């Protein structure tokens, strides 16, 4: 399975630049204005794998007399990265964007993980969409900036009433305060009991506001779907009793916690995998795994935004990573290792890491890896674990890493090998395995057949094994 990962955020936060940094193939258009991307731009991104690199080097050293580097193919695990157009906050109220909002959200539904890109840089030449949003709707700042510090319901209600008055004074007709699934519902989230208990968050920044606004936009869409689904299921309580027992608490907690995604809700995380599938089958946006990705710059002010955003993400247990695109571009031009080490240690680059981002994606998706290899001599005979021969003279070969879901429900070998071929589990007979760490310690005179493990289809992969599948077809 190829996992699909969506770059999601407001316009002008650097999604396309991040796409180009991570992608080794197709490039996305970068422009300093909103909606330069309409349809998703997609590219395959390969995940670095130090162990795969070591195995590749080991084979080349063992068979240096016959096997050239260019003839031993190395294939990393990969995912499909989607550069999705900037989403419209709270579905938008301007004619230009109101029709685009639902379209952009539908693109996100087709992916497996959301990389929520938040602007933490302070470059004034790139228009800040959150600033534009607040200029057009200044009362939102009063409401949203107090999401972490409201102490009484009356304070929140005053802010809500003030916002209603503002929209009426401005004759903004696109927003209905009578529709509970529209902005009224979203704003009322700001004054629920969750904020009475939450300690005040100091030094509130627009980066945090931006993250909250994007999450609230995703959640607003989810609440609309949940409301309609619950209403539909309520017409047949006997048939949908189980579904309602799951969906109603999720909806209530989602409303109460404002901008906390479904994937982080207590009522979701405590569910079994089977029960979570009831939620996931609705293609809700915030039930997808979410990683917060800060795009910061080379200034002290930007570092302050980064620190605030990181602390906020930690507070709500949201996976967090950061990239300094400006500094990464300069870093890529450096030639000497000494210069690179010095640059990487600087205060403006030490928080920027593609490697950490990849590790966080793997961890958030609960992924691990196993490996396969095959060698072939000049007569066309193929070799792997079961017929290993130190005297073989391979002239070509392939070594490859494969992702698998390491959850207890999915780490059975017969399920994992379906990533190699979707019908391989049907023809599975047996397998041979060896831990890659043990394999890396072998010497060219060592008999290692005793180190091989015979695995049945119900063998549970731990991660890092080298596997050969024996199948009937």
The string of pLDDT tens digits covering residues 292-310 is 999 999 999 999 999 999 9
Between CA 269 and CA 289 the distance in angstroms is 12
Between CA 101 and CA 40 the distance in angstroms is 14
Q: Where are the domains of the chain?
A: 3-48+78-91+96-105+291-364, 50-77+366-471, 128-287
Between CA 207 and CA 457 the distance in angstroms is 48
Query: Comparing C-alpha atoms, which of 136, 129, 134, 114 is closest to residue 32?
Result: 129
The answer, yes or no, to whether residue 38 has pLDDT greater than 80, is no
Taking only the tens place, the pLDDT of each residue in 255-296 is: 998 889 999 999 999 999 899 999 999 999 999 999 999 999
CATH superfamily name and code, 3-48+78-91+96-105+291-364: P-loop containing nucleotide triphosphate hydrolases (3.40.50.300)
Determine phi and psi for 161, rounding to 5 degrees: -60, -40
Between CA 208 and CA 312 the distance in angstroms is 7
- For 203, the token pair is 């030094």
- pLDDT value at residue 106: 86
- pLDDT value at residue 103: 64
317 — alpha (psi -120 to 50), left (phi > 0) or beta?
left
Between CA 224 and CA 286 the distance in angstroms is 13
Determine phi and psi for 34, rounding to 5 degrees: -70, 155
The answer, yes or no, to whether residue 387 has pLDDT greater than 50, is yes
Between CA 136 and CA 311 the distance in angstroms is 29
Between CA 228 and CA 225 the distance in angstroms is 5
With beta carbons less than 8 A apart as the criterion, state whether 207 and 120 touch: yes
pTM (two decimals): 0.81
Residue 27 makes CB contacts below 8 A (sequence gap 6+) with 19, 20
Query: Comparing C-alpha atoms, which of 402, 181, 214, 187 is closest to residue 290?
Result: 214
* Placement of tokens 């509970």 in the chain: 180
> For residue 368, how many C-alpha atoms fall within 13 Å in the half-sphere facing its CB?
16
Query: Comparing C-alpha atoms, which of 33, 32, 30, 2 is closest to residue 16?
Result: 30
pLDDT above 90: percentage of residues in the chain: 59
- pLDDT value at residue 168: 53
- For 96, the token pair is 């230009």
The answer, yes or no, to whether residue 28 has pLDDT greater than 70, is no
When pLDDT is averaged across residues 303-330 and rounded to a whole number, the result is 94
CATH superfamily name and code, 50-77+366-471: Beta-grasp domain (3.10.20.30)
- For 73, the token pair is 């193919």
Is residue 441 very low, low, confident or very high in pLDDT (cuts 50, 70, 90)? very high
Taking only the tens place, the pLDDT of each residue in 113-151 is: 999 999 999 876 666 667 666 666 666 666 565 555 543
Q: How far is CA 94 from CA 89, 101, 169, 175, 370, in A?
A: 11, 11, 17, 11, 49
Taking only the tens place, the pLDDT of each residue in 93-115 is: 444 444 444 567 888 999 999 99
In terms of DSSP bridges, do strands 113-119 and 290-295 run parallel, antiparallel, or are they unpaired? parallel
Query: Comparing C-alpha atoms, which of 374, 402, 371 is closest to residue 387?
Result: 374
């Amino acid at each position: 399975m190829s996992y699909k990962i969506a770059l999601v955020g407001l316009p002008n936060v650097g999604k396309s630049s991040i796409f180009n940094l991570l992608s080794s193939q197709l490039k996305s258009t970068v422009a300093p204005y909103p909606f330069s991307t309409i349809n998703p731009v997609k590219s395959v991104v390969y995940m670095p794998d130090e162990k795969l690199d070591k195995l590749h080097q080991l084979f080349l050293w063992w068979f240096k007399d016959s096997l050239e580097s260019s003839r031993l193919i190395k294939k990393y695990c990969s995912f499909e990265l989607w550069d999705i157009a900037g989403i419209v906050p709270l579905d938008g109220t301007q004619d230009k964007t109101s029709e685009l909002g639902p379209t952009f959200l539908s693109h996100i539904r087709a992916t497996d993980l959301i990389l929520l890109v938040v602007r933490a840089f302070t470059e004034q030449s790139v228009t800040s969409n959150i600033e534009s949003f607040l200029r057009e709707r200044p009362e939102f700042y009063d409401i949203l900036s107090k999401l972490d510090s409201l102490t009484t319901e009356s304070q929140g209600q005053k802010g809500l009433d003030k916002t209603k008055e503002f929209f009426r004074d401005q004759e903004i007709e696109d927003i209905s305060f009578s529709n509970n699934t529209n902005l009224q519902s979203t704003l009322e989230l700001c004054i629920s009991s969750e904020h009475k208990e939450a300690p005040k968050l100091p030094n509130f920044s627009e980066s945090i506001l931006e993250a909250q606004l994007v999450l609230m936009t995703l959640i607003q869409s989810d609440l609309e779907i949940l409301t309609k689904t619950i209403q539909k299921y309520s017409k047949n309580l006997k048939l949908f009793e189980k579904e309602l027992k799951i969906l109603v608490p999720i909806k209530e907690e989602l409303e109460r916690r404002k901008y906390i995604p479904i994937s982080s809700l207590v009522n979701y995380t405590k569910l079994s995998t089977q029960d979570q599938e009831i939620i996931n089958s609705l293609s809700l946006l915030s039930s997808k795994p979410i990683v917060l990705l800060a795009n910061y710059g080379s200034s002290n002010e930007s570092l302050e935004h980064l620190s605030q955003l990181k602390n906020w993400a930690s507070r709500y247990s949201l996976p967090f990573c950061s990239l300094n695109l400006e500094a990464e571009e300069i870093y890529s031009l450096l030639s000497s290792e000494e210069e690179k080490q010095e640059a990487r240690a600087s205060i403006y680059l030490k928080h920027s890491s593609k490697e950490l981002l990849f590790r966080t994606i793997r961890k958030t998706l609960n992924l691990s890896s196993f490996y396969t290899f095959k060698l072939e001599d000049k007569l066309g005979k193929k070799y792997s674990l079961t017929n290993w021969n130190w005297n073989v003279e391979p002239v070509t070969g392939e070594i490859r890493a494969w992702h698998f879901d390491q959850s207890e429900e999915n780490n059975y070998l017969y399920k994992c090998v379906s990533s190699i071929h979707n019908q391989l589990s049907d023809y599975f007979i047996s397998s041979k395995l060896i831990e890659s760490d043990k394999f890396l310690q072998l010497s060219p005179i060592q008999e290692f057949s005793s180190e091989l493990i015979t695995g049945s289809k119900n063998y549970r992969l731990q991660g890092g094994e080298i596997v050969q599948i024996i199948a009937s077809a």
